[in-house]
Amino acid sequence: MTTPALKPAREDAALPFGTIAEPVSLRALARADHLLIAEMVAPGARVLDVGCGEGELLRLLIETKGVDGRGIELSQAGVNASVAHGLSVIQGDADTDLDNYPDDAFDFVILSQTLQATRRPKEVMENLLRIGRHVVVSVPNFGHWRMRAQIVLRGRMPVTKSLPDTWYDTQNIHFCTIRDFVDLCDITGAKIERAVALNTSGHPVQLRAPWWFWNLFGAQAVFLLRRN
C-alpha cells in the first residue's frame, strides 16, 4: 500500500498533452539524510527509529528495505499518525524510555536529527550503542561556515533554513559540530564504520576529505556506528 505522505505531491495535476509522465519515486521526495540512512540499513533488519516523527523514515525503510521497524516519538500527534498508518510506534522520550530495552534488542537503532534535542546526549548515545548492534546517527553541524559566519560576523545565534528556530524557542538544546560528535563517539566507545557529510542541498560533501573540511562545509553528517 502506498502511504499518503509519501505520495508524489503532484500526482493529481493534469499533465500537458504530449508530456511523458515521469514516475515520481519515493526517493525523489524523501529527505536526503533519510535516503542515506536507508542505504546504511541492512534489508530485513530489526530497526528502532528514535524520534521517528510521523514515521516517514520508518515507512521508507519498510517499503525499500523490508525492515521490521519500530519507533519512539515524543509528540503524541506524531505517534497517533504513525500508528494510524500501521506503524509500530510508542509515545516516549529518548532520555528516559531507552533504559527498558534489553541489550542488542535491535540490528539498527536510528537517531535522526534528534540528538541535539535530548537532555543528556552522552547517556542517550550509550543507550543506543547498548540496545543496537549498529547505530545510525545524523546530526546537524553547528560548525558549518554559515553558522560560524553568523556568530563571527553578525554576533548572532545562527538561524538557517534547516534550523529555522530562534534561540529562545528552539527544541535543540545540545548543539555540536561534526568534530565534537566524533569526540563523543570516542568517549562513548563507538566505532565509526561509515560517515558521510551532506551539504545544504543534501548532496554528499567530497568523500575523502579531512574532518576539518567536513566540519566547515557539511550542513549535517550521518554516522554508522557500532560498539567498540
Partner 1 sequence: MARPRAIPTTADAARLEADQPHSEVVRFDASRTLPLDSGQTLSPVQIAYQTYGALNADRSNAILLCHALTADQHAANPHPVTDKPGWWDLMVGPGLPIDTNRYFVICSNVIGGCMGSTGPASTNPATGRTYGLDFPVVTIRDMVRAQNMLIEHLGIETLFSVIGGSMGGMQVLEWTASFPDKVFSAVPIACAAKHSAQNIAFHEVGRQAVMADPEWLEGRYATEGKIPRKGLSVARMAAHVTYLSEAALQRKFGRELQERDQRTFTFDADFQVESYLRHQGSSFVERFDANSYLYITRAMDYFDLAVDYGSLPKAFADTRTRFCLVSFTSDWLFPTSGARDIVHALNAAAANVSFVEIKSDKGHDAFLLDEPEFFATVRGFLEGCARARGLP
Interface residues with partner 1 (CB under 8 A) are 1, 68, 70, 76, 79-80, 82-92, 97, 100-102, 105-106
Shorter beta-carbon distance to partner 1: residue 131 or 136 = 131
- Rounded Cα–Cα distance for residues 199 and 141 (Å): 10
- Give the HSE-up count for residue 76: Cα atoms under 13 Å, Cβ half-sphere: 0
Cell of 164: 529555522
Residue 135 backbone phi and psi in degrees, to 5: -130, 130
Shorter beta-carbon distance to partner 1: residue 93 or 126 = 93
Q: How far is the CB of 81 from partner 1 (least distance, A)?
A: 9
Q: How far is the CB of 80 from partner 1 (least distance, A)?
A: 5
Whether 224 and 193 have beta carbons less than 8 Å apart is answered as yes
105: Cβ–Cβ under 8 A, 6 or more apart, which residues?
46, 48, 131, 132
- Give the HSE-up count for residue 17: Cα atoms under 13 Å, Cβ half-sphere: 0
Shorter beta-carbon distance to partner 1: residue 85 or 227 = 85
Shorter beta-carbon distance to partner 1: residue 132 or 218 = 132
Q: How far is the CB of 106 from partner 1 (least distance, A)?
A: 8
Shorter beta-carbon distance to partner 1: residue 28 or 90 = 90
Estimate the share of the chain in helix, then strand, then coil, as percent rounded to the nearest 5: 35, 20, 45
- Rounded Cα–Cα distance for residues 55 and 23 (Å): 23
Give the dihedral sign, CA 227/194/48/167. Answer: positive
Q: Report CA-CA distances (Å) from 14 to 6, 25, 150.
A: 19, 18, 44
Q: How far is the CB of 140 from partner 1 (least distance, A)?
A: 28
Q: How far is the CB of 71 from partner 1 (least distance, A)?
A: 9
Q: How far is the CB of 20 from partner 1 (least distance, A)?
A: 32
Q: How far is the CB of 100 from partner 1 (least distance, A)?
A: 4
Shorter beta-carbon distance to partner 1: residue 100 or 201 = 100
Shorter beta-carbon distance to partner 1: residue 1 or 21 = 1
